[in-house]
Structure 1
Amino acid sequence: MRYPILICVSCLWISAGCAPPSSSTPTAQQSSSTTATENAVADEAGEPSTNRTTRIEPGPDAQTQAQEALILAEPGDVIEFAEGTFEFNGTLSLDGINDITLRGKGMDKTILNFSGQRVGSGGEGLKIKADNFIIEDLTLQNSPGDAIKLEDSRHATIRRVRTWWSNGPDEKNGAYGIYPVLCEDVLIEHCVAECASDAGIYVGQTKRAIVRHNRAERNVAGIEIENTEGADVYENLATNNTGGILVFSLPGLKLKNGSHCRVYNNKMRDNNHPNFAQPGAMVAAVPPGTGLMIMANDQVEVFDNEIGGNQTANCAVISFLSTNRPFDDPQYDPFPEGIYIHDNKFSEGGQDPQGQIGKIYRDAAELPMPDIVVDGVVHQENLVDGRPPADARIYVTNNGSATIVDLGLAAVAAGQPPEFSTDLAAFAGKLPALEPIKFQEAAR
């Protein structure tokens, strides 16, 4: 179905820039030699099992030995990187071998460095296409492309992993730090993601994901859930990104419409970093100063979060139509529906709203811009007595002193002057709580 294109809400929100590298960069001593050893693992009866642990030390042969270990691995094997810094010149890949664990000695002790990656040797640091995969306790840095990409994998765990680019935020950095796409049953926990030119932690076109206890900082998007069915995002810190947490549905993808996402017990503070995304990327339209943005996703419950210090808007709920980007995907639904925002703590947002939306608001109203910004674009064909059906509305309740504005952009697109509504009562009500996401985690 085609929809009229509205004025560009997200366009012109872009700022470019980069920050200096973090002062907390972990370091590790590099060994001068490379050795790989294999040990059988004893079962509970003391008998050797067929599962092997292959241990790899830093040194000039680490690339070859690591890739050989991945190619020759058998289900149940553990590939263990020793303490130190490993210099790699190509992508490490695992394809079609299930039940593999890749681990280091700690994210501040085992460093996989891809600064020397050759042109034409991939781009990702790690590229995984396998089920029941675990990666834990190491850092991946300076990959030309994505640091870790998992594709078409079921039951994957990413735990205590850091991804970052040591030169600081830069549009030349890889797009994604941690990047599962077209997966099922993904757990990402206790990770750190910094300086990605798109998203530090990105879950795309995935069924069932849990993202918890992570820190995302100095990325364009800290954490992004895109076209995903069933996600719990909780107890994360998103700070000093352009946008803290994004929950998006975009057209033209295999999994058409994201739904059923719970965002709770997170801290989204001071996400005011200049946008350094590559031109043309969807996140290039995210304005600096965005705490949480929900775009075109359905059934999103946002509760018990601390959201503050985000200078454009602490929380925004918009239609894809407000991006002014054309699309031709009859199965795509561009409207956010069934959004329930409740029991959050909002503070100190909207002091300096950026981009075209900031200009529209400043020209018509006094600052600060309210905590919650709704574009007011709804599916006209589905209206009942002038309103969306009850289960498709946006509800905002019990958020303390939080304020709201409905920008009424559909009227603006029709050539009418801006007429904002700050009536919180128009969003009164509630939806049934979404069920927690549950699945069997990858385990050994």
Structure 2
Amino acid sequence: MKQYALLLVACLFASIGRAQTDVQKRYQTQLIMVDDGGVVELDAGTFTFSGSLSLQDKKKITIRGKGVDKTILSFKGQTDGAEGLRVSDAENIVIENLTIQDSKGDGIKTMNVKGITFRNVKVEWTGPPKAANGGYGLYPVQCDNVVIDNCIAIGASDAGIYVGQSRGIVVKNSKAYHNVAGIEIENSRNAEVFDNEAYENTGGILVFDLPDLVQKQGGNVRVYNNYVHDNNLPNFAPEGNIVAGVSDGTGLLILAASNVEVFDNRFINNQSVGTGIISYLLTERPITDKGYYPFSTGISIHDNVYERKSGPPTTRGRFGKMFHSVLKFDQDIPHILYDGIADPATLDKNGNMPADKRICIRNNENQSIANLDAAQGFQHVSRDAAPFDCQLEPVKTTLGNGR
């Protein structure tokens, strides 16, 4: 009887395996054969796939599950491809009402798509956060007209919700936690990031411009009405990644970005950097890209709320080392840090920036500021807020300015 029972179990597992393979083949066939304007309907249930699903060269396609945590596509043990779902060279694509789990690489990557909407989508790596997790959860890159609405990203070893080298972006009503970076806008133009919650990441929200990318300079980014809190997770990015240098305890970090407006946010209990404004030069990484501009300019931080529990900042990462060994900051860390590295080519004879390139910080609750004077080797760190008491014109993103 025992042998029959074992045989029955073996047959059952073999049957399940065949069924999962059949579902993967069926979904991939649908993605290949769907006509422009069509809908690919995904069933309710949990399905384990061994390889990536892909959609290419299609227009006006909707990929629709039965709901977050109702349609679950698991790529645990993936052997073929890296992404869970990849969409490329397409137009007006909607991905909605589904969960992607444990892909070998990125959860959902869309590349060269004109019009991409993620709605009610969850991407996660189950288990504790670790460097072996995929880099990005939602990963539109080189796309136009990106909408990420009511989505969830968990466990990415780089960024949970990431938009790179894209134009015309809305990220709203979404949650990101247990990632290295919760939400990241990189080398992208005309972006609205609002009504999101980023928590228990290493860094809550990042706005970066980096070298050696196809789209050289982003800008016109508005970050508002977000709840960014408790982003104190130790950094678990693979060594060498740019986000591996983000210190735990970071609420918002602006790196070499221009024309960024940050307002009506709550930055709560981010123990190291409520908001950081820095130049790429502070990373001390070499720059070989002649078209790259490494300075942050035209930054407006206003009407936000800052709160932090008493206690020291992190001792880890580059900021951690600066806090303790260079700046001698201990308990009394300013909420807003500016590295003090400005483009010398833009300064007048008195060392002042042009009005439209200034760093303006005003009307924030519990506001405290430090200019780290990194350009002069941290010799004259200043907590004087007066040089930042200015006002820039509101950033216009060509998206109707949000809601």
Provide TM-score, normalisation by structure 2.
0.91
Distance change in 2, residues 1:89/1:365 (3 Å): closer
Task: Report the equivalent of 1:357.
Answer: 319
Deviations 1:342-398 (A, max 9, x none): 000001167323334334333534522100000000111210121111111100010
The whole-number CA distance in structure 2 between the counterparts of 1:277 and 1:362 is 23
Closer/same/farther in 2, CA of residues 353 and 60 from structure 1, 3 Å limit: closer
Partner Cα distance (2:388, 2:106) in 1 = 40
Question: Residue deviations 1:279-310, cap 9 Å, x none?
Answer: 11110010111000000000000000000211
1:100 aligns with 2:61: yes
Specify the alignment match of 2:104 in structure 1.
144
2:186 to 201, 223, 226: 226
Deviation at 1:427, TM superposition (A): 0.1
**Which residue of structure 2 lines up, in the alignment, with residue 7 of structure 1?**
none
Alpha carbons of structure 1 residues 356 and 166: separation in structure 2 relative to 1, 3 Å: closer
> In 1, Cα distance between the equivalents of 2:363 and 2:314?
25
- In structure 2, the CA distance between the partners of 1:60 and 1:353, relative to structure 1 (3 Å rule), is closer
Asked if the contact 2:23/2:47 (under 8 Å) is kept, the reply is yes
**Of the candidates 160, 163, 171, which is equivalent to residue 211 of structure 1?**
171
Does 2:76 match 1:76? no
Partners of 2:332 and 2:173 in 1: CA distance: 31
Once the two structures are superposed, what CA deviation does each residue of 1:2-41 show, in whole Å capped at 9, x if it has no partner?
xxxxxxxxxxxxxxxxxxxxxxxxxxxxxx8899xxxxxx
Deviations 1:46-97, CA, capped at 9 Å, x for gaps: xxxxxxxxxxxx7440111111111111111111111101111111001101
C-alpha distance after superposition, 1:321-360 (max 9, x if no partner): 0000001112111000000000000011673233343343
Aligned-residue offset at 1:429? 0.9
- 1:435 shift after superposition: 2.1
Q: 1:386 aligns with which of 346, 351, 356?
A: 351
State how 1:101-180 maps to structure 2 within 5 Å: 101-118=62-79, 121-129=80-88, 130-180=90-140
Code of the aligned partner of 2:54: S
**In the alignment, residue 98 of structure 2 is paired with which amino acid?**
L
CA contact (8 A) 2:31 2:55 kept: yes
Aligned letter for 1:328? T
CA–CA distance in structure 1, aligned partners of residues 117 and 106 of structure 2: 17
- For 2:133, the aligned partner's letter is N
| Corresponding residue number in structure 1 for 2:49 | 88
Pick aligned residue for 1:61 from 22, 31, 35: 22
Q: 301-310 or 358-367, which moves further after superposition?
A: 358-367
Q: In the alignment, which residue of structure 1 is the partner of 2:234?
A: 274
Q: Conserved in 1, the CA contact under 8 Å of 2:137 and 2:154?
A: yes
Say if 2:274 is the partner of 1:310. Answer: no
Q: Work out the CA distance in 1 between the residues paired with 2:119 and 2:159.
A: 18
Residues 179 and 356 (structure 1 numbering): CA distance in 2 closer, same or farther, change over 3 Å? closer
* 5+ long unaligned stretches in structure 1: 1-31, 36-57, 440-444
**1-structure distance, mates of 2:341, 2:354:** 14
Matched letter for residue 341 of structure 1: I
**Matches of 1:436 and 1:391 in 2, distance apart?**
16
- 2:374 is matched with 409
Instruction: Identify the residue that residue 44 of structure 1 maps to in structure 2.
Output: none
Shift of the 109–306 alpha-carbon distance from structure 1 to 2, 3 Å rule, reads same
Matched to 2:82, the amino acid is G
Contact 1:218–1:273, Cα closer than 8 Å, also in 2: yes
**Matching of residue 396 in structure 1 with residue 361 in structure 2:** yes
For residues 312 and 97 of structure 2, the distance between their equivalents in structure 1, rounded to whole angstroms, comes to 39
**Distance (whole Å) between structure 2 residues aligned to residue 392 and residue 183 of structure 1:** 28
Q: 1:320 aligns with which of 280, 283, 302?
A: 280
* Aligned residue in 1 for 2:5: none
Give how far 1:135 is off: 0.4
Structure 1: distance between partners of 2:166 and 2:227: 24
Quick one: distance in 2 between partners of 1:418 and 1:365? 14
Contact 2:362 2:390 in 1 (8 A): yes
Number of residue pairs the alignment of both structures matches: 381
1:243 counterpart residue number: 203
Give the match for residue 368 of structure 1.
332
Find the aligned partners of 2:314 and 2:50 in 1 and give their Cα distance: 43
Greater relative contact order (Cα < 8 A, sep 6+): 1
Alignment of 1:264 onto 2:251: no
Rounded Cα–Cα distance in structure 2 between residues aligned with 1:317 and 1:74: 47
Secondary structure of the equivalent of 2:83?
coil
- Pairs within 5 Å for 1:42-57: none
SS in structure 2 of the partner of residue 124 of structure 1:
strand
Partners of 1:105 and 1:194 in 2: CA distance: 20
3-state SS, counterpart of residue 135 of structure 1: strand
Secondary structure in 1 aligned to 2:91? coil
Pairwise CA RMSD:
1.8
Distance 1:59 1:353 in 2: 45
Q: Is the 8 A contact 1:110 1:138 kept in 2?
A: yes
Question: % of aligned pairs identical?
Answer: 46
Counterpart CA distance in 2 for 1:202 and 1:428 is 32
Q: Which residue of 2 aligns with 1:189?
A: 149
Q: 2 CA distance for matches of 1:426 and 1:325?
A: 29
Q: Distance in 2 between matches of 1:356 and 1:123?
A: 31
SS at match of 2:82: coil
Inter-CA distance 59–357: structure 2 relative to 1 (3 Å threshold)? closer
Check conservation: 2:99, 2:122, Cα contact below 8 A: yes
- Check the 8 A contact 2:247/2:318 in 1, yes or no: no
The equivalent residue for 2:4 is: none
